[in-house]
C-alpha cells in the first residue's frame, strides 16, 4: 500500500514542478526567431537549412558562417533544421532562443528513420552497440488478418514466426522465437512490450504502430533481467506530430481460400478399400458387389449414400474486411494521434444458419486508440495514451474440432444427411456425427471480450539541479473481461430400417437461450519511475538511465503474479566513434522461495566506427560506414513452466484410492504427497555473446548487418534423480544446461535508377542447439539419450516451436517395406504387433538382439524447429505504380505425416485419400504400407518412415498499387489516393512432391484442424 501511495505522490510532484510556466503563453504571437546552430563540439555549422514545418510559403533561410540565423515565425510554429551528414532536428520556435541548436553527426541516416528505440531510450543507429532489428509499419504488408503477428513472417533477421495450429477466425495468431530455441522447458516466447509495457499486441491494427524492434543480445536484454532471456519484441505506437490536422482512411476487402483441405474418398472407393483392409486383417469382405455397384450408380442414395461432406459443409472462399480511420496533428504544445479500426473475418462453414442462430465461425474486432503528448512548459512533458478493443467470436457448440472431424473423417457411405422423413441421418456407430445437425441443431456461442488500456507518463527536466538531468514516471493500467452467451440444444439422428421404421439415436431438446455468463477477467498494472542524465563534455558524450518498476497481474482462476526490478544503463562515446554501454538489472520473481527471489544481471556492449579512422579514409569512395560491435552478459528466464510455480512448497493431493487399515483392510480416504519441495529451485541463467558489424556502402545505397551469436543456458529445470526407495522425488532441480549458436545477416539495397525506385532486401538466420546436461532415466541406452542432441530433436503434429508439448521422444528407424515372407523370415523378429506380413514396415535392429521392440527406438535429430529461416523481397515504384513482394522459407526442418496417412479412427478403418497409394502385391513401390483394420501396432509405431522434409519457400505476400497523379490529387484537394490488390500465401515450393499438404502446417485442413488460408485482397488508401 505504501508503494502504491508513493507512486501517485511522485506523479503529482512531477506535474506540479512544471506548472509554473504554463500561463502567459501566446502561441500565435508573431516573432523573429533567431538562434545559432552548432555541432556536438559546439562548432558553428554554416549552411544549415532552416524551414517552418507545414509552411505553405516554403520559407527557408540558411545559417551564416557563424552558424546564426533568423526567420519570421509564430511561437506555435516548429522549425526544421537540415544539414548534409547530420540528423534532422525539429524544434518548437518558442524554445529556439533558450540555447544553441545542436545537430548530431549521422553518416547512416537522418531524421526519425535514424532512431532506434531501446528500453527507455532512443539512439541514433550510429550509436547502437547491440543487435537490434527494426522495421517500420509502412514497410509491412497490409494483410487482412485477424492478428498483427502474421505480418512479420520473413521480415526481420533473427525473428522466427510460426503460425498457430488453430487457424479458425480469431485464433490464428502466430508465435515467435528470437533466433532459436535454447531451452527444453515450457515457454520460449519472447517478452512483448508495447511502448515499454508488457502487453499483447496480437489484436492491434497495423495503423496503431510506428515500428517494431527485436532485441536479441545481452546488451539490451539485461535491462529486463530475469524476464529477458527469450528476447524482447518492442512495439512503438504511432504518435502525433506538430503539423496541421491530417486524416487518413483505409478500406480493404478480401477472400480467404484453404491452402489444402481433405479430398474425401467417394463411397465406392471407400468401400473397396475397406474390403481390402478387412481381408488383410484376417476377415472377410464387408461390402458385397451389389453394394459397390449401388455406390457407383447412385441408385439408392438413402440405403447406399455417397456424401461429400467437405463439399457440402465448407465454402470455397470466406470473406474478410478491414476499415481504418485516423487523424493526427498538433502544434508546439499538444500533439495527438487517434485511430479507429474495424475488422471482420468470416468462417468457411456452410449450412450453419438456423432460424435462431448462426453456428458458422465468425470473428469481428473494433479498436480505438488515442495518444496525446502535452508540452506543458519548457521543463515538463506529459503523455496520455488510452485505448479500447471489443472482439466478438462466434462458434458452434459442437466444437470446431468435433465438427471438422465429422466433415473430414466420416465415410461417404456412413448415412444420408437427411432421411426421407426429414430427420437427421445417423447410425449406431455414427450417432452424433451428422455435420448438418451439428451446425443447425446443436447450438452456438458468442464470446465477447472487452479490453481497456491506459498509460500516463510525465517527464520533467531538472537542469536546475544538474544540467542534463531529467526524471520520468509512468503508470499503466489494463483491464479485460470475457463474457459468453448463446443458444443450446441437442439433436437426435435415426436410421431407416428395412421394414420402413426408424431407429433413433440420441434425444432432441428445444433450443434454450444462454444469457451472458462471466467467463473471466484480467487486471494488470505496471509502474516505472527513474532518472535520465544526458550531457556532452567536449568530445565525450555520457548518457545514464535508471528505473525502478513493479508489475501486478490478476486473472480469473489464477494466482496473482508480481514482478519487481531495478534497471540501470550507462552509455559513453568518444568523438562519436567509440561507444560503450554497460547495463545492470536487479529483479525478482515470486516463483521462487523467499530469500532466493532476486538476481543480478549485468551486461556490456561496445562499438567502433572503424570507417572513421584515418587508415580507412581511402575507402571513402565506396564505404560510407563500417561499425564493429559486440556484447556479452547475463539475463534470466523465470518462465520455467506453470507446473513448477511455487515449487519450493510441498504439493499434496487427495488420494484416489485412500489407505487400508485394520485386519479387514478397510479403505479410508486421505491425501498423498505428489512431490517433495525444492526450496533451491531458481531461474534459468542465460549467458549471451554476440559479435557483429554494420556497413553502409555506395552512398548509403547498400546496407549490410551480420552477427555471430552464442548462448549458454544454465540451471535448466529438469527431473530429479533420486533412489526409488525414497518413495518420492523432488519436483524439479536446476541441473540442466543447453546451448545454441549461429549467425544472422540482413541486407538492403535502395537505389533510384531513372524513373524507377528500387528497394531489394533479404535476411537469413541459422542456428543449431545442443543439450549439454539433462537428467535421464538410469540404464537408458546411449542411443536413446537426449544428451548431445539438439533441443526439440523430435517432432509431432501436436508440437509447436515454442513449447515442448506433443513431442515424440524416440523413434524406430525404418528400412523400407517387407516385400515377401522370405524377407520377413530373414529379418529380426518384429514384436510390435501380432503378425508381420508383406506390405508391413521393416525396422532396423539397433542393439542386435534379433528382436524389434522399444529397445530399438533411437534419439534422432529430426527437428520441428528449422535450422535456418529467411526472407527476401523487393519494392519497386515506377511513376504512379508500385509493386512489393516477399518470399520466405525455412530449411533444416522435419515434419511427420503419420497422423495424416493414418487419419480417422477404427470406425472408418483409418482410411483416407492417402490410402489409395498403399502397398499391394501389384504396387510394391508404394509410399505407404498395406491397409489394416486391426493389429496395426507395427505400421503405426513412431518411426522415421513417416518423416518428410518441412523445407519450403513461399510467396508470402505480394501487392500491386496505383496512386492517382499529383495533378489530379491537387484538383480533388486530397493528399493521396492509392488503390491496390494483394495476396497472401499464394505460391509454395517444397520437397513434398505431390503430397497434398502444407509444409508449414502439415495437418491444417485434415483431421480436426481448420485449414491454413491464402487470401486475395483489394483496397484503397485515402489521405487528406
DSSP 727-740: S--BS-EEEEEEEE
Same domain? For 221 and 156 the reply is yes
Cα–Cα nearest to 292, from 311, 267, 317:
267
Confidence of residue 710 (pLDDT cuts 50, 70, 90): very high
Region 970-991: mean pLDDT is 93
Only one residue has cell 509491412, namely 140
Q: For 463-481, b where at least 16 C-beta lie within 10 A, e where not — what string?
A: eeeeebbbbbbbbbbbebb
Pairing of strands 362-375, 380-396: antiparallel
Same domain? For 232 and 270 the reply is no
Confidence of residue 144 (pLDDT cuts 50, 70, 90): confident
Instruction: Classify residue 488: in a domain, yes or no.
Output: no
Same domain? For 132 and 100 the reply is no
Q: Is the pLDDT of residue 14 over 70?
A: no
Q: Residue 60 is part of which domain span?
A: 27-105
List beta partners, residue 72: 32
C-alpha–C-alpha distance, residues 205 and 203, integer Å: 7
Q: In Å, what is the CA distance from 700 to each residue of 225, 241, 610, 696?
A: 36, 27, 16, 5
Same domain? For 135 and 80 the reply is no
Only one residue has cell 513434398, namely 992
3 vs 845, more confident: 845
Q: Is the pLDDT of residue 171 over 70?
A: yes
> What are the pLDDT digits (tens) for 594-614?
888 999 999 999 999 999 888
**CB atoms < 10 A from the CB of 756, how many?**
11
Same domain? For 178 and 152 the reply is yes
> What are the pLDDT digits (tens) for 224-281?
999 999 999 999 999 998 888 999 999 999 999 999 999 999 999 999 999 999 999 9
Same domain? For 201 and 283 the reply is no
653 CB burial (10 A radius; 0-12, 13-18, 19+): exposed
What's the confidence (pLDDT) of residue 620? 65
C-alpha–C-alpha distance, residues 963 and 974, integer Å: 12
Q: Is the pLDDT of residue 804 over 50?
A: no
What's the confidence (pLDDT) of residue 801? 52
What's the confidence (pLDDT) of residue 873? 97
C-alpha–C-alpha distance, residues 853 and 151, integer Å: 46
Which parts of 253-380 fold into alpha helices (H)? 267-280, 289-297, 309-313
The region of weakest confidence among 447-461, 777-791, 947-961 is 777-791
What is the dihedral angle through the alpha carbons of 566, 572, 576, 579, rounded to the nearest 10 degrees? -80
CA angle 159, 163, 165 (to 5 degrees): 145
Q: In Å, what is the CA distance from 655 to each residue of 669, 672, 765?
A: 7, 5, 50
Same domain? For 124 and 229 the reply is yes
Instruction: Classify residue 57: in a domain, yes or no.
Output: yes
The number of helix segments (H) and strand segments (E) in the chain equals 10, 51
Confidence of residue 27 (pLDDT cuts 50, 70, 90): very low
Residue at which a domain ends, from 105, 134, 167: 105
Pairing of strands 30-38, 868-878: unpaired
C-alpha–C-alpha distance, residues 316 and 364, integer Å: 21
DSSP class of 646: T
> What are the pLDDT digits (tens) for 885-936?
999 999 999 999 998 898 777 777 789 999 999 999 999 999 999 999 987 7
Confidence of residue 85 (pLDDT cuts 50, 70, 90): low
Please state, rounded to an integer, the average pLDDT across all residues of the chain: 88
Instruction: Classify residue 218: in a domain, yes or no.
Output: yes
Which parts of 591-701 fold into alpha helices (H)? none
C-alpha cell at position 516: 451472458
Instruction: Classify residue 407: in a domain, yes or no.
Output: no
Instruction: Classify residue 578: in a domain, yes or no.
Output: no
What's the confidence (pLDDT) of residue 656? 57
SS3 label, residue 679: coil
Query: What CATH number does the domain containing 84 carry?
Result: 2.60.40.1120
Q: Is the pLDDT of residue 494 over 80?
A: yes
Q: Is the Cα dihedral 282, 287, 289, 295 positive or negative?
A: negative
Residue at which a domain ends, from 281, 296, 312: 312
Same domain? For 77 and 162 the reply is no
Query: What CATH number does the domain containing 215 carry?
Result: 2.170.130.10
644 vs 560, more confident: 560
CA angle 504, 508, 512 (to 5 degrees): 175
Number of domains composing the chain: 3
Residue at which a domain ends, from 199, 223, 239: 239
- Among 578-582, 590-594, 694-698, the range of highest mean pLDDT: 578-582
Instruction: Classify residue 20: in a domain, yes or no.
Output: no
Same domain? For 154 and 185 the reply is yes
Confidence of residue 355 (pLDDT cuts 50, 70, 90): confident
CA gyration radius, the chain: 33
Could you tell me where the beta strands, DSSP code E, fall in 30-158? Answer: 30-38, 49-52, 60-62, 68-74, 78-82, 89-92, 101-102, 115-118, 121-124, 132-136
C-alpha–C-alpha distance, residues 40 and 540, integer Å: 9
977 φψ region: left (φ > 0), alpha (ψ -120 to 50), beta (else): beta
What's the confidence (pLDDT) of residue 780? 86
C-alpha cell at position 191: 517478452
> What are the pLDDT digits (tens) for 532-551?
999 988 889 999 999 999 99
909 φψ region: left (φ > 0), alpha (ψ -120 to 50), beta (else): left
Region 66-85: mean pLDDT is 84
C-alpha cell at position 146: 485477424
Residue 330 and residue 243 in contact, taking contact as beta carbons nearer than 8 Å: yes
DSSP class of 78: E
Q: Euclidean distance between the first and final Cα of the chain, in Å?
A: 49
C-alpha cell at position 673: 504427497
> What are the pLDDT digits (tens) for 87-136?
677 788 888 877 888 886 654 444 455 788 888 888 888 899 999 999 99
Pairing of strands 246-258, 318-330: antiparallel
Same domain? For 120 and 235 the reply is yes
Confidence of residue 639 (pLDDT cuts 50, 70, 90): confident
Q: Is the pLDDT of residue 324 over 70?
A: yes
C-alpha–C-alpha distance, residues 732 and 719, integer Å: 5
C-alpha–C-alpha distance, residues 569 and 567, integer Å: 7
Q: Is the pLDDT of residue 319 over 50?
A: yes
> What are the pLDDT digits (tens) for 36-54?
998 877 888 888 889 887 6
Instruction: Classify residue 85: in a domain, yes or no.
Output: yes
640 vs 831, more confident: 831
Region 457-483: mean pLDDT is 95
Instruction: Classify residue 863: in a domain, yes or no.
Output: no
Can you give 308-337 as a three-state secondary structure string? CHHHHHECCCEEEEEEEEEEEEECCCEEEE
The region of weakest confidence among 429-443, 768-782, 973-987 is 768-782
Could you tell me where the beta strands, DSSP code E, fall in 111-245? Answer: 115-118, 121-124, 132-136, 159-162, 175-178, 191-194, 197-198, 209-215, 232-237
**CB atoms < 10 A from the CB of 516, how many?**
11
527 CB burial (10 A radius; 0-12, 13-18, 19+): buried
Only one residue has cell 465454402, namely 315
Same domain? For 161 and 83 the reply is no
> What are the pLDDT digits (tens) for 735-763?
999 999 999 999 999 998 988 999 999 99
Same domain? For 185 and 281 the reply is no
Amino acid at each position: 500500500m505504501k508503494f502504491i501511495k508513493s507512486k501517485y505522490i511522485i506523479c503529482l510532484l512531477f506535474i506540479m514542478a512544471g506548472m509554473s510556466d504554463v500561463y502567459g503563453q501566446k502561441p500565435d504571437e508573431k516573432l523573429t526567431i533567431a538562434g545559432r546552430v552548432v555541432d556536438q563540439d559546439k562548432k558553428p555549422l554554416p549552411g544549415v537549412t532552416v524551414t517552418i514545418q507545414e509552411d505553405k510559403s516554403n520559407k527557408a533561410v540558411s545559417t551564416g558562417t557563424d552558424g546564426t540565423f533568423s526567420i519570421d515565425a509564430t511561437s506555435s510554429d516548429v522549425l526544421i533544421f537540415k544539414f548534409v551528414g547530420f540528423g534532422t532536428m525539429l524544434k518548437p520556435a518558442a524554445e529556439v532562443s533558450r540555447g544553441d541548436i545542436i545537430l548530431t553527426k549521422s553518416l547512416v541516416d537522418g531524421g526519425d528513420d535514424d532512431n532506434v528505440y531501446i528500453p527507455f531510450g532512443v539512439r541514433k543507429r550510429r550509436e547502437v552497440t547491440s543487435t537490434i532489428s527494426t522495421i517500420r509499419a509502412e514497410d509491412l504488408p497490409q494483410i487482412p488478418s485477424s492478428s498483427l503477428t502474421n505480418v512479420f513472417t520473413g521480415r526481420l533477421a533473427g525473428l522466427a514466426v510460426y503460425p498457430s495450429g488453430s487457424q479458425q477466425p480469431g485464433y490464428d495468431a502466430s508465435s515467435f522465437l528470437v533466433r532459436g530455441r535454447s531451452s527444453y522447458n515450457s515457454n520460449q516466447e519472447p517478452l512483448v512490450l508495447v511502448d515499454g509495457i508488457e502487453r499483447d499486441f496480437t489484436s492491434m491494427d497495423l495503423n496503431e504502430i510506428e515500428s517494431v524492434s527485436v532485441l536479441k543480445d545481452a546488451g539490451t536484454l539485461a535491462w529486463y533481467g530475469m524476464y529477458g532471456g527469450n528476447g524482447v519484441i518492442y512495439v512503438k505506437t504511432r504518435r502525433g506530430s506538430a503539423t496541421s490536422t491530417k486524416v487518413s482512411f483505409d478500406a480493404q476487402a478480401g477472400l480467404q481460400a484453404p491452402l489444402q483441405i481433405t479430398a474425401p474418398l467417394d463411397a465406392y472407393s471407400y468401400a473397396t478399400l475397406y474390403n481390402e483392409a478387412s481381408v488383410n486383417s484376417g476377415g472377410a469382405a464387408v461390402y458385397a458387389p451389389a453394394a459397390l455397384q449401388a455406390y457407383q450408380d447412385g441408385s439408392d442414395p438413402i440405403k447406399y449414400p455417397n456424401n461429400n461432406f467437405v463439399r457440402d459443409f465448407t465454402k470455397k472462399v470466406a470473406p474478410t474486411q478491414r476499415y481504418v480511420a485516423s487523424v493526427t496533428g498538433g502544434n508546439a504544445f499538444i500533439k495527438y494521434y487517434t485511430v479507429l479500426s474495424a475488422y471482420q473475418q468470416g468462417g468457411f462453414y456452410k449450412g450453419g444458419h438456423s432460424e435462431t442462430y448462426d453456428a458458422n465461425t465468425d470473428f469481428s474486432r473494433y479498436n480505438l486508440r488515442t495518444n496525446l503528448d502535452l508540452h506543458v512548459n519548457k521543463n515538463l512533458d506529459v503523455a496520455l495514451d488510452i485505448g479500447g478493443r471489443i472482439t466478438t467470436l462466434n462458434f458452434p457448440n459442437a466444437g470446431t474440432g468435433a465438427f471438422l472431424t465429422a466433415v473430414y473423417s466420416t465415410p461417404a457411405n456412413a448415412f444420408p444427411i437427411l432421411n426421407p422423413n426429414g430427420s437427421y441421418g445417423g447410425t449406431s456407430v455414427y450417432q452424433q456425427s451428422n455435420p448438418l445437425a451439428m451446425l443447425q441443431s446443436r447450438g452456438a456461442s458468442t464470446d465477447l471480450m472487452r479490453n481497456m488500456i491506459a498509460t500516463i507518463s510525465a517527464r520533467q527536466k531538472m537542469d536546475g539541479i544538474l544540467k542534463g538531468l531529467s526524471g520520468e514516471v509512468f503508470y499503466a493500467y489494463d483491464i479485460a473481461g470475457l463474457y459468453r452467451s448463446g443458444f443450446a440444444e441437442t439433436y437426435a439422428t435415426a436410421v431407416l430400417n428395412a421394414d420402413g421404421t426408424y431407429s433413433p439415436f440420441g434425444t432432441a431438446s428445444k433450443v434454450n437461450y444462454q444469457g451472458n455468463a462471466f467467463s473471466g477477467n484480467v487486471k494488470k498494472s505496471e509502474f516505472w519511475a527513474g532518472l535520465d542524465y544526458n550531457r556532452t563534455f567536449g568530445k565525450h558524450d555520457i548518457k545514464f538511465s535508471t528505473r525502478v518498476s513493479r508489475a501486478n497481474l490478476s486473472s480469473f482462476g489464477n494466482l496473482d503474479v508480481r514482478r519487481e526490478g531495478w534497471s540501470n544503463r550507462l552509455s559513453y562515446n568518444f568523438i562519436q566513434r567509440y561507444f560503450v554501454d554497460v547495463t545492470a538489472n536487479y529483479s525478482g520473481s515470486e516463483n521462487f522461495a523467499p530469500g532466493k527471489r532476486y538476481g543480478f544481471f549485468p551486461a556490456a556492449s561496445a562499438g567502433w566506427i572503424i570507417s572513421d579512422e584515418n587508415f580507412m579514409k581511402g575507402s571513402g569512395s565506396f564505404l560510407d560506414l563500417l561499425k564493429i560491435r559486440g556484447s556479452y552478459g547475463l539475463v534470466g528466464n523465470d518462465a520455467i513452466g506453470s507446473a513448477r510455480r511455487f515449487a519450493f512448497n510441498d504439493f499434496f493431493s487427495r488420494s484416489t484410492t485412500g489407505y487400508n487399515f485394520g485386519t479387514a483392510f478397510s479403505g479410508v480416504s486421505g491425501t498423498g504427497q505428489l512431490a517433495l519441495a525444492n526450496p533451491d529451485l531458481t531461474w534459468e541463467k542465460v549467458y549471451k555473446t554476440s559479435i557483429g558489424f554494420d556497413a553502409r556502402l555506395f552512398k548509403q545505397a547498400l546496407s549490410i548487418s551480420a552477427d555471430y551469436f552464442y548462448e549458454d543456458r544454465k540451471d535448466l529445470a529438469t527431473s530429479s534423480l533420486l533412489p526409488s526407495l525414497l518413495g518420492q522425488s523432488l519436483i524439479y532441480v536446476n541441473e540442466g544446461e543447453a546451448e545454441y549458436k549461429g549467425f544472422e545477416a540482413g541486407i538492403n539495397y535502395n537505389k533510384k535508377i531513372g524513373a524507377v525506385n528500387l528497394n531489394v532486401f533479404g535476411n537469413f538466420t541459422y542456428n543449431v542447439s545442443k543439450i549439454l546436461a539433462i537428467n535421464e532415466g538410469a540404464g537408458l541406452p546411449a542411443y536413446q539419450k537426449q544428451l548431445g542432441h539438439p533441443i526439440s530433436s523430435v517432432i509431432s503434429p501436436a508440437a509447436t516451436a515454442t513449447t515442448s508439448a506433443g513431442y515424440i521422444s524416440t523413434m524406430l528407424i525404418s528400412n523400407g517395406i517387407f516385400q515377401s515372407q522370405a524377407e520377413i523370415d530373414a529379418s529380426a523378429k518384429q514384436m510390435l504387433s501380432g503378425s508381420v506380413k508383406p506390405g508391413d514396415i521393416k525396422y532396423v535392429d539397433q542393439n542386435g538382439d534379433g528382436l524389434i521392440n522399444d529397445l530399438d527406438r533411437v534419439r534422432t535429430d529430426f527437428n520441428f524447429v528449422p535450422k535456418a529461416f529467411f526472407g527476401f523481397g523487393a519494392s519497386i515504384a515506377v511513376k504512379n505504380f508500385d509493386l512489393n513482394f516477399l518470399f520466405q522459407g525455412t530449411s533444416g526442418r522435419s515434419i511427420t505425416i503419420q497422423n495424416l496417412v493414418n487419419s480417422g479412427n477404427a470406425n472408418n478403418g483409418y482410411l483416407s485419400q492417402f490410402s489409395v497409394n498403399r502397398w499391394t502385391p501389384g504396387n510394391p513401390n508404394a509410399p505407404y504400407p498395406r491397409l489394416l483394420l486391426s493389429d496395426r501396432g507395427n505400421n503405426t509405431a513412431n518411426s522415421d518412415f513417416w518423416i518428410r522434409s518441412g523445407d519450403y519457400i513461399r510467396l508470402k505476400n505480394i501487392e500491386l498499387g496505383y496512386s492517382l497523379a499529383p495533378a489530379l490529387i491537387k484538383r480533388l484537394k486530397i493528399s493521396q489516393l492509392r488503390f491496390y490488390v494483394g495476396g497472401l500465401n499464394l505460391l509454395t515450393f517444397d520437397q513434398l512432391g505431390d503430397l497434398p499438404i502444407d509444409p508449414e502446417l502439415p495437418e491444417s485442413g485434415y483431421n480436426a484442424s481448420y485449414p491454413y488460408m491464402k487470401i486475395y485482397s483489394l483496397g484503397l488508401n485515402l489521405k487528406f
